[in-house]
Structure 1
Amino acid sequence: MQTNIVRSLTAVATMCFTLVSTAKADVVLPQTLNYSDNAVTASIQVTDTIAVDLSIEFEKVVGLNPETLTISAEMLTPNALSITERLNSLLVSPTTAFPVVVSITPDPDSGFAFEGVATVELYTKAIHYTPDLPLRLFTSHADGTFTDMTTLVSAGSIRARGNTGKFSDFMIMLDTRTPANIVSDKVSDIESFLSLHGNLIQPVTLAAIEHSMTLLSFAVSDQDFDSALEEVDSLISLINAAPAGAMPDVWQASDTLVNVEGELKSKFSSLRYALRVM
């Protein structure tokens, strides 16, 4: 790939935004797309008054071009079944001001793939940031359950960021669970992930992760969140220092590979954020 080559795509229609009608709602395509070697930015005017900017950054990526990714946004009602049926808590809900799902859909036959984590950020002026408002960035893969992936929420009017090891749907939601429950749920999610995919990790590395996870679980159970944060930092360092080949670290558009490294890094980074903002 050539360095610092940016391709800008602009909608050829003279309309202020492009709509593709579907049975569920109107799917809106970006007005502007910018591609570089390892990043994508997009601006989407969802309605006359609601817009969202998307940015994606990769550690390593191949096949990144306008033909391999479809980026879109869909505005739904906050109580739409396509959202509520994918939530595992009544205390998590879409916002009335911004009930927008942003989707990143790679062409499964394109050869697109990335290594490690991808960082996804949504920015919108439709919501006004306040530090005590528990807005978080959620993701759902293949119409599955929405899970919190947040690593940053900041002003501007609101900017929400998180890491992922695969591509899916993304949505800013209101999360009124208690901080302790959020942390506990995240630990349970990591334990479930390791139960499903631990067999893909080399035994020595897996044993180290499982030992540290045991200490983390004890700390969270005892509500010793300072110790839990230290253990999460240790786990992130452990994964970063794992030898090459210790675990799968690639996700492909065909969705046939589990990006274990990328998913673990993403989950632990979001858990670290949750512990830091308690």
Structure 2
Amino acid sequence: MAILAKRDTQNRSRLLYCLSGFLIFIASFFIATSAQASTEANVVYTNDGFTAQVQVTSLIELEVSVKFENAVGVAAENFELDFQIVSPLNTNLLNRLPGTLVSLPADFPVLISIKPIADRGFSFEGVAEIEIYTKNLHYVAGSPLRLFHSSDGGEFKDITVTTGAGSYRARGQMGTFSDFLIAADLRTPVSVVAGKVTAFSDYLQAQSSVIESPTYNLLSAALSILQQQVSAGSYGSAQNTVNEIITILETADGAVMPSIWRSSKDLQNVSGTLLAQARTIRYSLRIL
């Protein structure tokens, strides 16, 4: 009975947190909208990425940096960048979040869209890395803020690989583009890890036909061990297994599995996607 009472109290506390956060979010949105001016962005491109200094409104600013391991066509004319305040009533976006326990922070309800133009010939190999920095949020130990990514209007997924102070900085990796946001994730850390492992498993199986058999068998065997360790709560051992998976993926070249993403979206960047998924699993295991 004591355990049930404790869980009931925790559930009510979580519900109250979500409700209060939603009310604050609505108030913040109207404040941000009333202060909104034309978005100003200063973007600097290099051969391996770009950095954008963005003033979304008079109250909200951010810096976004994107880096590529190996890319072709990194230039201003090949990208469409968009930064916008998101309404708490925008059900089209909210329905893309992974459940009601994930919500946009009241002080930073910003959707970031990075879309390489389809017919301009941009491509990259392996993982792309994005870092978002803003003074509108503040890092504290145990913060639920995470970096989420959505491709082609799909569900947003946690891609966080590091978070840190200054005032808040989050870094993630991906094998595709296009939408990004920072959200507060109140799901239990254990459920987040389990969900990420399941997503890795599903994607690995879906791409089995394009991965050379010896490498696929190594990944599949390591994944089976990882699933058992996560199920048993052996998270320290699970970290070691994830590191083994990452090493396998890092040493696999384009002959072993597809590793290139193009703006025409005619290729599956299997290597980059799996590597990004494995690294965000490692992040979530580390903070358990």
Q: TM-score, normalised by structure 2?
A: 0.85
Matching residue of 2:177: 167
| Structure-to-structure mapping, 1:245-264, within 5 angstroms | 245-264=255-274
Alpha-carbon offset, residue 261 of structure 1 = 0.4
**In structure 2, how many angstroms separate the alpha carbons of the residues matched to 1:153 and 1:138?**
12
1:42 is aligned, of 52, 60, 65, to 52
Matching residue of 1:119: 129
**In structure 2, how many angstroms separate the alpha carbons of the residues matched to 1:269 and 1:27?**
37
Matching residue of 1:143: 153
Q: Which amino acid aligns with 2:228?
A: F
**In structure 1, how many angstroms separate the alpha carbons of the residues matched to 2:233 and 2:59?**
43
Aligned to 2:43, the other structure's residue is in SS state strand
Q: Which amino acid aligns with 1:181?
A: S
Unmatched 5+ stretches in structure 1 = 1-25
Matching residue of 2:77: 67
Question: 1:28, 1:74 within 8 Å by CA — same for their partners in 2?
Answer: no
* Distance change >3 Å, CA 244–CA 146, structure 1 → 2: closer
Q: Which amino acid aligns with 2:163?
A: V
Alpha-carbon offset, residue 195 of structure 1 = 2.1
Alpha-carbon offset, residue 44 of structure 1 = 1.3
Matching residue of 2:223: 213
Structure with the bigger percentage of strand = 1
Unmatched 5+ stretches in structure 2 = 1-35
Matching residue of 1:187: 197
**In structure 1, how many angstroms separate the alpha carbons of the residues matched to 2:181 and 2:37?**
14
Alpha-carbon offset, residue 79 of structure 1 = 4.2
**In structure 2, how many angstroms separate the alpha carbons of the residues matched to 1:30 and 1:42?**
10
Matching residue of 1:55: 65
Query: Aligned pairs, how many?
Result: 253
**In structure 2, how many angstroms separate the alpha carbons of the residues matched to 1:201 and 1:30?**
44
**In structure 2, how many angstroms separate the alpha carbons of the residues matched to 1:129 and 1:244?**
38
**In structure 1, how many angstroms separate the alpha carbons of the residues matched to 2:181 and 2:287?**
20
Structure with the bigger percentage of helix = 2
* Distance change >3 Å, CA 78–CA 129, structure 1 → 2: farther
**Structure 1: which 4+ aligned runs deviate by more than 3 Å?**
26-30
Aligned to 1:189, the other structure's residue is in SS state helix
| Identity, % of aligned positions | 37
Q: Which amino acid aligns with 2:229?
A: A
Q: Which amino acid aligns with 1:144?
A: G
